[in-house]
Chain A
Amino acid sequence: MSHLLEVRHVTKKFGGLTANNDISFNVNENEILSVIGPNGAGKSTLFKMISSFLPTTTGEVLFNGERISNLKPHVVARKGVVRTFQETTIFKSMTVRESIIVAQHLRARASLAGYFWGTKTAHEDVDSFGQYADDLIEFLGMTEIANEQASNLPQGNLRALGIAIGLATDPKVLLLDEPFAGMNHDETMKMVNLVRKVRDDRGVTVLLVEHDMPAVMNISDRIVVLNFGEMIAEGTPVEIQNNEKVIEAYLGSADDEIGI
């Protein structure tokens, strides 16, 4: 297995506060890797740096050997590393289908002027966008809500819509921002299956940042654990469950976090 994504000595400082200190790990092709940690461990900061929504202070992130940190987010998306957001970040007044069509921007072959004048390529693109959207909607089991406006959807569907928008860009790596946050057991299991399906059927490598321990243990091939900005462990779910540093970090930080 080759390293698709490499996080190399990444450090982030906000003034005197070190949010991430010298984090290094690799993501292999076609695996599901989770980054976990107690509140304030620096998960979100790391996530934003990998997707270039924040610059690193030092260190770099490589995708297929190319640096993708400290670029503009759309450039990183173009290379095939696409992030999702938590549920409030959607195109509120678009339907599910419209959102997925817009999100296929990277598949466009005609220029913006081409779409304006309606060239042949543009017409082909528009047809293919619609076709692709329908396929994706079916794949994700969203047929019933395809023409619902996003602002009318319940939370669980919004999360799936976020993943649908990310998938519409045809990414190589999908970065998921807390995909299970605030979900009950059934919803979580549905989402776990969905993320697996995305990896298995679409060959998308998944890196996710998450809180929900049982879900992470269930879904991940490997797990990276952060605590106070430091990376304290890396390994398979079984290894992480038996790692003393991890147990200490969780027991020592907040009682309600004991999910291990």
Chain B
Amino acid sequence: MKFTSKDVSKLLEEVSGSEVLVGHACATSYLNGQHYTWSGTQWVGTYYPVLKYPVGEDSSSSC
């Protein structure tokens, strides 16, 4: 294994908060205020009137 560790403190200072990257497996589930998760057998939906990202994160994922 080739291991490298890079100092990114300067880069992080230039951005506001963290730049969160997410998988879009269930991205569709966040549309129109609906958040669905896969229960193993079916999609289970919960209504969220406002799409709000967690503090310090810029995007979100549903599953």
Q: State whether these chains interact.
A: no
